[in-house]
Amino acid sequence: MAKKKFERTKPHVNVGTIGHIDHGKTTLTAAITKTLSLKGGAEFRAFDTIDNAPEERERGITISIAHVEYETDKRHYAHVDCPGHADYIKNMITGAAQMDGAILVVSAADGPMPQTREHILLARQVEVPQVVVFLNKVDMVDDEELLELVELEVRELLTKYKFDGDKTPIIRGSALKALESTSTDVNAPEFKCIFDLMNAVDTYIPTPVRAKDKPFLMPIEDVFGIKGRGTVATGRVERGVVKVGEEMEIVGIRDAKKSVVTGVEMFRKLILTKEEGGRHTPFFNGYRPQFYVRTTDVTGDVKLPEGREMVVPGDNVNLEVTLGTPIALEDGLRFAIREGGHTVGAGVVTKVLA
């Protein structure tokens, strides 16, 4: 089947759903495509085509990142549906590295949960500029006062992690009701919350300014082989422009390599407290966690500042880290620190020493 050429007639924005497991991220993603398909702005993607690996369907959770595209009247969107399962936070970091804005999904029945906090923090660390909140499953909560309390808790959490909690749009609704609706009327009440959400995303998440005049840089999210084509790398172009026939350098854990572009396609340090999913005990000199930078993770040896014996959960500290393997870094780059399946810290590179 011939591939359709990607026509850029509207501003392009990368968004994604983040939030706790089972709060409805994938259901909302499917509901957005269904609702916008009524206006011709999307191809409807059913839940099980987004949640597509066998172990995901079996457990009803999303592990690998799913990519969906759709359009509103104002913009074209690429949407990543991020995993909510703690074991797969690395994929969330990988997906968040591609986002110009995030849709935080919170169940009105549960309120913010541990992974809600972890995802908000990670969104801040990978510099997702704005967050819009979808308060899901409101049909399961009859008490208006309880809804307002959940909303207040979400706003306080966003403010804590340096987002503007007071101004953040919070849309209430039921993604499942929109998804399961048999109506084809765009004015049907079950679709209103989805249109309200996309209107908030259109207006609140800024159109990114693309750094086209800088050297080309694309963190590689995934690599796979295609018969007759060779190796295909996927990711979000962070800056610059690349064209077919141009030479590029691949820099990472192994020796740098040069390659030629044969085709371009589209669509196919803060220490955490225990409550944020962090460590329960201090760490000392010689601590060796995993450092997650863009789409790479590597072990690093931690050296504490002179005179500092330990770092306790909740501390801020300047660290000197020696990575076990050389990777591409630059000043100002955000990273997350993980240990034993938990995010225990997050920070920013202040200086690359060697």
Instruction: Choose, from 12, 20, 23, 25, the residue flagged as catalytic.
Output: 25
> What is the CB neighbour count within 10 angstroms for residue 20?
24
Instruction: Choose, from 67, 85, 192, 274, the residue flagged as catalytic.
Output: 85
CB-based contact 98:221 (threshold 8 Å)? yes
- What's the CA gap between 266 and 162, in Å, rounded? 32
Instruction: Choose, from 22, 196, 202, 315, the residue flagged as catalytic.
Output: 22
Amino acid in the structure at residue 95: G
- What backbone torsions phi and psi does residue 82 show, to the nearest 5 degrees? -90, 150
The verdict on whether 26 is a catalytic residue reads yes
Task: Please list, in sequence order, all residues whose beta carbon lies within 8 angstroms of the beta carbon of residue 46, skipping any fewer than 6 positions away.
Answer: 30
Task: Please list, in sequence order, all residues whose beta carbon lies within 8 angstroms of the beta carbon of residue 277, skipping any fewer than 6 positions away.
Answer: 86, 114, 115, 117, 118, 342, 343, 344
The verdict on whether 100 is a catalytic residue reads no
What ranges in 111-143 are assigned the alpha helix state H? 114-125
Task: Please list, in sequence order, all residues whose beta carbon lies within 8 angstroms of the beta carbon of residue 306, skipping any fewer than 6 positions away.
Answer: none
Instruction: Choose, from 26, 62, 94, 343, the residue flagged as catalytic.
Output: 26
The verdict on whether 25 is a catalytic residue reads yes
Q: Which of 20, 34, 129 is nearest to 83 (CA)?
A: 20
* Residues acting as catalytic residues: 22, 25-26, 85
